[in-house]
Structure formats: C-alpha cells, structure tokens
A and B are shown apart, each in its own frame.
Chain A
Amino acid sequence: MIPCNFEYYMPESPEEAVETFLQLTREGKNPMYYGGGTEIISMARVSNITPGAVVDIKGIPECNFLGLRDNQLIIGAALPLTAISESQVFPLLGKAGGRVADHTIQRKITLGGNLAGTIIYRETSLPLLVCDSQAVIAGPHGIRQVPFSEIFQQRLYLQPAELLLQIIIDRSYLNLPYVHVKKVKQDKIDYPLLTLVAIVKDQRIRLAFSGLLAYPFRSLTVEEALNDPHLTVKERIDRAVTGLPAPPLHDILGSAGYREFVLRDTLKNTLSTLEGYY
C-alpha cells in the first residue's frame, strides 16, 4: 500500500501534459510524469518518494505510436517493453528490453520509464546510443528533436517540466548485424554484471555497455581500440579496457577485477561473432 496521497492526471496531448505539469508545480505539488509507474509505485510504497501528483502520459497518442514513417522508426515513450519486443521491428532493442526485470513487468515498464528511471542500468539506452537515435521532447517552449546522445549522458537530462515523447531511429540501423549479451551474477533475472550491445555500421563495430560502470555508456575510445586492424585481438581488448572512462564497478554483484574478466571474455566473443562484418 502506498502511504502517501497523490493526485492523478491523464492528459491527451503533449501540450496538455506540460501545462498540467507546470500548473501542478506552481501549486507546489511536486508532480512526476508517470509512464508504467513501476518505479514510482515501488518507491512511493516505502516512502522513498512522495509525489503530490502524477501525470500519466499513456493517454498521449504520440507516446503510444510505434511504426515506420519516412524511413524512420518512431517509438513512443509510453510503449511497454513487450510491445517493442513483440513487434520485432527493432530486434536489438527488443532483446535489450527483453532482459529488463521479468516478462510480466516488461508489460508495465515503458521505454521512457526505463530511460528516465533512477535505477542505474537503463539497458534500453544501449541500442539507442549505438544507433544514432533522436529524442523528441515536449516542454514549455514546444517540441524539440535532439540527438539522443545529447540528452542521455550517463542518465537522461531534461529541463524542468520536459517530457520524453518519442525515440526515432533511422531504418538503416534496424537490421544491422548485432550482439546483445547480458551477464548476471546468478539467476537470469537480475541487474547486469555486464550488458554489452554491439552493432556493425559501415564496417566498424560500435559498442555500448551497462553494469560495467555506474552508468550506461558508449565510448569512442573503446571503439577506436577494438576497430584497429593493426592490433591483435588481445591487444585491441587490452587497449579497450585501458580506455574505459572509469574503473569497473566494485559492488555486491561483482568485484572490479571480476567485471574486467567478464568484459574481456565478452569482448573476445563479440569480436569473434561479428568477424567478417567489420
């Protein structure tokens, strides 16, 4: 049972959502945008958060759109992860979302919620980072479209009252050769020790990681090392590990040393799997 009380609003357009959010803010109600609500409910239940109001975005058509338009795949931020995986329109994103929590909860967790949540792994960001995706954002000054990597740096950065409406991916990225690996400590359903996503674009490998550091990331330094044709596989991996933006996490899921071991092994397998494409 959620001990705090909050008000519930379900707007039907981006403008209505933003205006409602602004009005609730003016009234001092500490509003939160609400997608699937899994994190809001579970955190409110133990009083980690106490929103005065939630603004449910599932009534906004733009947030529920899924389909191709002008050779671009448009994915609404309020779509549940199972809707994306079942559609099979973007297999790599389907795989990444298909390993977040469990299957039933994937029907409730939304793409926007996974990206904007406080849990550090945000695994659906990985395909978006390597595929040069765009983000469509509604805010007090209207709707803007920006590169996803511009607003997602370790986590999603939005201005006050802004709302992620959609993600756009160019069609040419949807069926590229890819690898998705999620390594967990024990059971299948757990936070990642390491999640790796790799694609080959223009004969170069692009990679993004979650669980390795305290945030998801794509590193051009790591990619540079792994794509260097003058190095052996071992040398590439050595250089990639040296080029990580921070030391690996050292926590209850795994030591930094073990994470590095898993990373090295996973990189080796990834290079082998994608051999011939790059």
Chain B
Amino acid sequence: MIRQMKGPGPIQLAVNGESRTVVVRPADTLLYALREQLGLTGAKPGCENGDCGACTVLVDGWPVKSCLMLAVEAVGHQVTTVEGLKNAPIQKAFIEEFGFQCGYCTSGFIMTCHGLATIHPEADEVVIEEWLQSNLCRCTSYQEIKNAITSVLASSKLPAP
C-alpha cells in the first residue's frame, strides 16, 4: 500500500519516546518540525546544508543531520533529540572536560558522541575521529570534545563495581 502525502497535514512522529503530532508540508525538514512544531530547539539550524552538524539528532539510534531529512521520512522511526537525553554520560563528560565554548554546536556533538558510545562502545581513536568529523565547532573545542567521548568510552569498558 503506497504511503502518500500531497500537501500540508498532520503526521505522527515518535520523538524522545513519545508519540507527537506535527503539521508539516511534505517538503518540510525534520529540523523544522522539531523546532517550529514541537519547540525542541536543541537541534540548531546552522548551515542547513548538511555540513556543520549542529542539527544532529538520533534516528533509530544513528546520528542524522535533521536539516537533510524530511519530517515525513521520520514516520515510523524513533527520533531522539538532545532534550531526550537525561543525564547521559556524555553530557556529564562535556561538562567535566569543558567540551564547549559558545555552545551552539554542543547539542549536535553530544548526539553524535552519544550515538557513537551506544553503537560502537569499543571504538578506537580512528573511529572516534571519523565520527567527530561530521560536526564543526567554530570555537575549536575539538580536543576537549574528543576527551569527553574518550572518557565515556573508557568508563564503559571498566568492569562493573
């Protein structure tokens, strides 16, 4: 059965574990729906061209730049924004490692790092750098951000007390 959307209308999105209704055009991006329809402003509009990563959210656990995904494409998938993280280890690590300055890129970086820690908890330095290269920080906090994700991955490898 073909799914179709011919004009503006309501769709159901699963965001941060809740079913939410948004009214969008088929051409509206997920970024737009999250910010303008749901007030979830943690995903930041930056380049809106897929370059900067400030709008990164998780879709089914994987980082996705929400400026390059249509809202209607997210139907049937689990979307997690930075508002959906509740004291995740990476959030604490960003504070402890001073992983931000102006903060505009932070939520995008946190989502990328959280996705990495979940999908590849055994990631080595090459994989960490590969994933982090998806996001830009104009304040150049890169080393501190890398320290943050490295500390989270290291702690996840520790045996349980």
Contacts and interface: CB of A to CB of B under 8 A. Distances in A.
B158 to A, nearest CB: 26
Given A37-B68, A41-B70, A104-B63, A6 B4 contact: no
Given A37-B70, A105-B134, A10 B26 contact: no
B53 A7 contact: no
A71 interface: no
A44 interface: yes
Interface residues on B, range: 20 to 34
Interface string B1-21: 111111100000000000000
A5 interface: yes
**Interface residues of A, dominant DSSP:** mixed
B130 interface: yes
Contacts of A278: none
B49 A45 contact: yes
A42 B69 CA distance: 10
Interface residues on A, range: 35 or more
Interface stretch (B27-35, B94-102, B147-155): B27-35
A189 interface: yes
B32 A1 contact: yes
Interface in A1-40: 1-2, 4-12, 16, 20, 36-38
A223 interface: no
Contacts of B7: 5, 7
A9 B112 contact: no
A108 B65 contact: yes
Given A20-B2, A104-B56, A107-B63, A7 B48 contact: no
A59 interface: yes
Contacts, number: 92
Given A37-B73, A105-B65, A108-B65, A6 B3 contact: no
B104 interface: no
A228 interface: no
B133 interface: yes
Nearest to B135: A104
A12 B2 CA distance: 6
B29 A41 contact: yes
Given A20-B2, A37-B73, A107-B62, A188 B133 contact: yes
Given A2-B28, A108-B64, 16 more contacts: A2-B27, A2-B29, A5-B7, A7-B5, A7-B26, A8-B72, A16-B2, A41-B69, A54-B26, A82-B62, A102-B53, A102-B133, A102-B134, A104-B134, A105-B68, A107-B63
Interface of A: 1-2, 4-12, 16, 20, 36-38, 41-42, 44-45, 54, 56, 58-59, 82, 98, 101-105, 107-108, 188-189
21 contacts: A4-B27, A5-B25, A8-B72, A36-B68, A37-B69, A38-B50, A41-B67, A42-B49, A42-B68, A44-B27, A54-B26, A56-B73, A98-B130, A102-B134, A103-B130, A104-B53, A104-B63, A104-B64, A104-B112, A104-B135, A108-B50
